[in-house]
Structure 1
């Protein structure tokens, strides 16, 4: 049984190395209108790398979204969501331009 648990240890170690950054990102408190606008502006709503390569009107290749390869993808999406919720709920702003 020790052999099985040791196989999973390298994955847990790399995950543990990123845990403080994940925790910091998850605990960013959005309580300022300017900060919320900045976060919503710089974190895109969709992955900017996804593309269709079209040649002579036909799609010849598709580049899949690579954002999920980012180890902090979920934390960034959550931070953007919290910022948009703050702007809509607390500030009463229209956030349709960010969506």
Structure 2
């Protein structure tokens, strides 16, 4: 929603408590949620989900991972072997990503 699309709505309330209906507020709020605010919330959930997956991989590797890992020095470890070598760090990084996504 650009600055030109925003409209000012004058609202005058009485001192008597009660329910008030502001014409156009519901549509404006729905448009707001579909714009920047809704997009940020969606991105937060995506980041949070990725962090949970990374943290879960680290925790599962900590619990069920092998005690020893063998790899060729010339080639180096594969991605799975890196996960097996550093499960604690992967869990910590996943937890950090979860916190960023919140």
Please confirm whether the aligned pair reaches a TM-score higher than 0.5, indicating the same fold.
Answer: no
Bigger relative contact order, structure 1 or 2 (CA pairs below 8 A, ≥6 apart): 2
Greater C-alpha Rg: 2
Question: Given the two structures, how large is their TM-score scaled by the length of structure 2?
Answer: 0.32
